[in-house]
Amino acid sequence: MIGAMSCCTTSNVCGLSAAGLGITECLPLDAPGAEDASCPGVAIAGLIQLPGCCAPDGTCGALDSLVGLGCAKIATGTNGETVSCTP
């Protein structure tokens, strides 16, 4: 249903893409980061709402436990831009 497929990231790490959720790039599995209220959540394909999270590099992502991405580097700004946070 979500079209999750295994893939290799640009840094040659195993990951997933999920075209059914609008995630077309290959994202690594179990990306570190914790839920953070200062980071905006992300709605994927109008079906799933993921809470915001802060990655160790100080950028916001979306915390995914559905397919195992962890703190996924999905653009979270209103215009698709990266948002900063304090890890």
Q: Could you tell me if 3 and 18 are in contact, meaning their C-beta atoms sit under 8 angstroms apart?
A: yes
Looking at residues 10-38, what average pLDDT do you find?
A: 87
Confidence (pLDDT) at 74: 76
In this structure, what are the phi and psi dihedrals at residue 20, rounded to the nearest 5 degrees?
-65, -20
- For Cα atoms 24, 28, 30, give the angle at the middle one, nearest 5 degrees: 130
Tell me which residue of 58, 75, 63 sits closest to 23, measured CA to CA.
75
Looking at residues 19-43, what average pLDDT do you find?
A: 86
What is the pTM assigned to this prediction?
Answer: 0.79
Given pLDDT bands bounded at 50, 70 and 90, which one contains residue 1?
low
pLDDT digits (tens, 9 = 90+) for 55-86: 999 999 889 888 788 998 876 667 777 889 99
Given pLDDT bands bounded at 50, 70 and 90, which one contains residue 25?
confident
